[in-house]
Every structure is written in structure tokens, then in C-alpha cells.
Amino acid sequence: MIELENVAYSYGGEALLTDMSLSLPAGSFHFLTGPSGAGKTTFLKLCYGALRPTSGALRLFGEDLAAFDRDAVALARRRIGVVHQDCQFLDHLPVIENIALPLSVSGLAAQDQEDNLQELLNWVGLTGRANALPPELSGGERQRAALARALILSPDIILADEPTGNVDWEMSQRLLRLLVELNKMGKTVMIATHDLALIRAAKAQVQARVLRISDGSIQAAGADL
């Protein structure tokens, strides 16, 4: 699904990530951990084409990202569901329209997907909040809405950046269960988090590989996780 070969990324002359080689096969479950500022978000952005490697090769769905123009990146992104810590909604649109946004940009009419939308809302427990505006939602509701939006096009890969950063333990367990459930449906999942308790809880439910970014490089985390 995503392959990195000696990928490095620099910004303003400063090397943020160096010599990263990694493969995310279909159906795998990865955690990406490391201290704040280590480059977890940058790594995820590379994975969904928001940033391009300074050197090395990154392949998305078997194609070299270097050969992608902006439209090709946009099309690839429709196969990658992204959940950000700050969710990134259009605050003037109700939750249901925010969730349906990927349908609109893909040229699919939301009306034709009404059943899917309702099913998804029900699955993330937001049926009663469909017409609320994003600022009216709690942290947990926002994260679930962001997850629903990431899933509406049934992507192959789900990348979540600190999805439990703004929610309580109970809600983070609920979100984790949803992500584990998706992985069992065959989706590739990668979660960037520094929440070690979440990782431990996940490892009890799913076979997850834990990666750690430190000093600009990536390696498998220790056995204590």
C-alpha cells in the first residue's frame, strides 16, 4: 500500500526525517510513536502526499509519488482516510455535510449514498448530531465525525494523527475499537500517538506493529510495548 525507501525530508535546510525505509502492507495495523516534535505528523503527511520526500522513493499503491501531479495526489487521497487531531472541518457546514464532503469532491451525489451515510453515522454514534455544526460537538464527537468522514469513500488506508489526543480514556477506547474493527475489515491502519496506554490496549485486540521515530529515523519499538 505504502512503501518508503531511504526517504528523507528536510524543511528550511534542517533534516527532519532521514533514511526511512518501511512498508505498510494491506491489512496491517501500525502505531507510530515518539516524542512530541519527533516528526510523526510529518511522516503521516508524507504517507498521504501532503509533503514530498526530499530524497528517496515513496510509493503509494505501487506508484512512485514523484510522478504524481497535484490531481494524481488528490485522487490517491480518496483512497486514504485521514483523521487529524484537530479534525479540520468546514465549520459552516453541518456534520452530515462535512462527512459527505469526500463524496462531493469525488463527484458522487450524497443523496445516492444516503444509506451509507446514515449507516456510518450510526456506526460512529452520531445519528442524533447529524445537523449540528462542528463547533457544537464535543472532542470525542469531533473525532468520530472525522473518522466517519475519513471512511465515507471506503478507503484502503486509514491514517490517524493523535486521534485520542483530545478525548477521555473511555472515548479513546471507543475510537480504538472502531479502528480495530476497520482493520479486521481489511483496512490498513496507522495511528500516530504518544499514548502508550492506548498502544497496550490495542495490542490486546489486534496484531499491531509499533514503530518509533526518534532523532529523525524510524525503528521498531522495544519489547516493553
CB nearer to other proteins: pick between 16 and 103:
103
Q: Does 9 bind other proteins (CB under 8 A)?
A: no
C-alpha cell at 182: 476497520
C-alpha cell at 77: 487521497
C-alpha cell at 69: 501531479
Q: Does 196 bind other proteins (CB under 8 A)?
A: no
Q: Find the binding residues for other proteins in span 78-107 (CB under 8 A).
A: 78, 82, 84, 88-90, 92-93, 97, 100-106
Beta bridge partners of 189: 29, 158
Q: Does 145 bind other proteins (CB under 8 A)?
A: no
Beta bridge partners of 2: 24, 60
How big is the chain, counted in residues?
Answer: 225
CB of 60 to other proteins, least distance (A): 13
Q: Does 148 bind other proteins (CB under 8 A)?
A: no
33 touches 211 (CB < 8 A): yes
Q: Does 110 bind other proteins (CB under 8 A)?
A: yes
Q: Find the binding residues for other proteins in span 30-69 (CB under 8 A).
A: 50
Beta bridge partners of 10: 15
Count the Cβ atoms, other than its own, within 10 Å of residue 98: 23
Assign residue 50 a region (left: φ > 0; alpha: ψ between -120 and 50; beta: otherwise): alpha
Residues 6+ apart with CB under 8 A from 168: 140
CB nearer to other proteins: pick between 38 and 96:
96
187 touches 156 (CB < 8 A): yes
Task: Tell me the window of 55-63, 76-84, 123-131, 183-191 that interacts with other proteins (CB under 8 A).
Answer: 76-84
Q: Does 185 bind other proteins (CB under 8 A)?
A: no
Q: Does 191 bind other proteins (CB under 8 A)?
A: no
75 touches 92 (CB < 8 A): no
CB of 168 to other proteins, least distance (A): 26
CB nearer to other proteins: pick between 110 and 201:
110
Binding site residues, other proteins, CB under 8 A: 50, 70-71, 74-75, 77-78, 82, 84, 88-90, 92-93, 97, 100-106, 110, 149, 153
